Structure 1
Amino acid sequence: MSRRHIGYSGIYGKGDQANYRRDDIANEAQHHKINAQGFRTKDQNEAMTNMIEEHMQDGVAERYKHDPTYSATMHGHKPSRGAKTDADIQREEEEIINRKKEKTDSLPGKKL
């Protein structure tokens, strides 16, 4: 028995129907430096899906770099005591840096 799709065959990717608004395509393409608006509809949808996946992967990679507990959490484990301690130290250091920035922002002659 064959599987039937309803609608245009060009809008199916990975078994899902995906249509994106022109504004969304333009906005995402601007961040990725790709002129996806010049593509055909099928290619626009594929390009948009790829750009969104890329964006999500970048976010996950950043989180792995900056959050010591993220790796364990992503794999369904409880973070170790060391990872929790590292996260606490990181938070404390960020608070100290933010307090120092607030103090120096009020100095006369400080350029914004």
Structure 2
Amino acid sequence: MSGNSSVGQSGVYEAGDQRNYKDSELKAAQEPYKEGKENSHKNLDSKDERSIANKLAAEERNKGPSDDPETAASKKDPTLPATLHGNEPSKGAKLDAELQAEDEQRLREKQGK
């Protein structure tokens, strides 16, 4: 009774529902993230349907030496970026510098014992 449909011929409904795939086709289907164009996804796009694992994997791949000279300078001295720009360092930066100096002093004292 394949001719009872008013949508089309019987060929439309055959051989489409169940197929036996080769192992190579299954392995290729298990890695859909690698398909597509480079930079076609924005990592923080809320409408992107990538899984959290894929987002984390992309973030790991994009990690690298991203410290610009100003960030590296702020790690050494928290007040340095503001003074380089000709501004007075903020209260938080001054406090961070004091805490960092105290920590370094404690480390020197512990190494001396």
TM normalised by structure 1 equals: 0.37
Bigger Rg, which one: 2
Which structure has more relative contact order (CA 8 Å, sep 6+)? It is 1
| Structure having the larger proportion of residues in helix | 1
